[in-house]
Amino acid sequence: MTKPPKLLSGGNPQIPKGYGDGPVQAYIAAMPGWKKRIGTEIDALVVKTLPDVQKAVKWNSPFYGVERNRWFLSLHCFTRYVKLTFFDGTSLDPMPPEPSKHPKVRYLNIREDDPLDAAQLTDWTLQASRLPGEKL
């Protein structure tokens, strides 16, 4: 019997680093409670928008990119929200609402009862996918 992934602070699943859909689906499956719904919806939206999107899990977070090691989006579980990170978020119009210490990064924090604005997330995903992406 396989042991379930350990949950780190904020309920973030500890998933081994890996490339492809498998590690990302393992992360989503391990997201606790309502956060799993958010992870599932975000992943489906990104795949619907960009069917050839590249995926990986690094630093216990799913990453999305247009080519391997060029990432435009990641997500991470915190206690009260799921944080979407747009690595070149200041180039998006409109910018995602939450600032970062990093000059180009912007965040969107999604709480349990927040409606998911699929149209805005699709637009940001398309815009972000056309930018050079972060090499991480």
Position 2 scores a pLDDT of 63
Omega of the bond leading into 94 within 30 degrees of 0 (cis) = yes
Q: What is the pLDDT of residue 67?
A: 80
| The predicted structure's pLDDT at residue 38 | 97
Distance of alpha carbon 106 from alpha carbon 22, whole angstroms: 27
E-strand ranges in 18-122 read: 18-19, 54-58, 61-67, 70-77, 81-86, 106-111
What pLDDT band is residue 12 in, cutting at 50, 70 and 90?
confident
* Domain 9-129 belongs in CATH node 3.40.50.300: no
How far apart are the C-alpha atoms of 109 and 96, rounded to whole Å?
9
pLDDT at 1: 54
Domain boundaries, the chain: 9-129
pLDDT digits (tens, 9 = 90+) for 95-132: 999 999 999 999 999 999 999 999 999 999 999 999 98
| pLDDT for the residue numbered 68 | 74
Provide the whole-model pTM: 0.93
Higher pLDDT, 116 or 136: 116
Residue 134 pLDDT greater than 60, yes or no:
yes
